[in-house]
Amino acid sequence: MTSAERGGPTALEGRPWYAANEVLAFLVELAALGALAWWGVAAGDGVVARVLLGAGAPAVAAVVWGLFASPKARFRPPMAGVLLVKAVVLGGGAYAVHAVGHSVAAVCFAVVVVVNTTVAESFRRRTGYLA
């Protein structure tokens, strides 16, 4: 089915750079969840705490993201609220990388998060596309 059959062009058609940025955004989100799990396992004191933190930190982040920041979020706060959730979850991922002893990687991750989010949100605001 073409975009004309669906009623109009999609945001990704004819914009490979935008599609690439959206793929990068998804990978950054997964990396943040992985970093939170890594931090939880490293920070836990004992097997039970490691399992709870290793599974709980990314689970809480995923639930908050799904409720407020995902393209199909149950609640749609204003842009400032979405950016706050993204800052907390993705920034938490960057901090988690730092907390396990990889400061340079944490800074690199944070830079990628800021650039990726800025490009994605500025495109969405210009075109009115909200995934």
pLDDT, tens digit, 9 for 90 and up, residues 1-60: 444 444 445 555 667 888 899 899 999 999 999 999 999 999 989 999 999 999 999 999
> What is the distance between the alpha carbons of residues 86 and 73, in angstroms, rounded to a whole number?
13
> What is the distance between the alpha carbons of residues 25 and 17, in angstroms, rounded to a whole number?
12
> What is the distance between the alpha carbons of residues 66 and 8, in angstroms, rounded to a whole number?
27
pLDDT, tens digit, 9 for 90 and up, residues 42-52: 998 999 999 99
3-state secondary structure 104-126: HHHHHHHHHHHHHHHHHHHHHHH
> What is the distance between the alpha carbons of residues 68 and 80, in angstroms, rounded to a whole number?
11
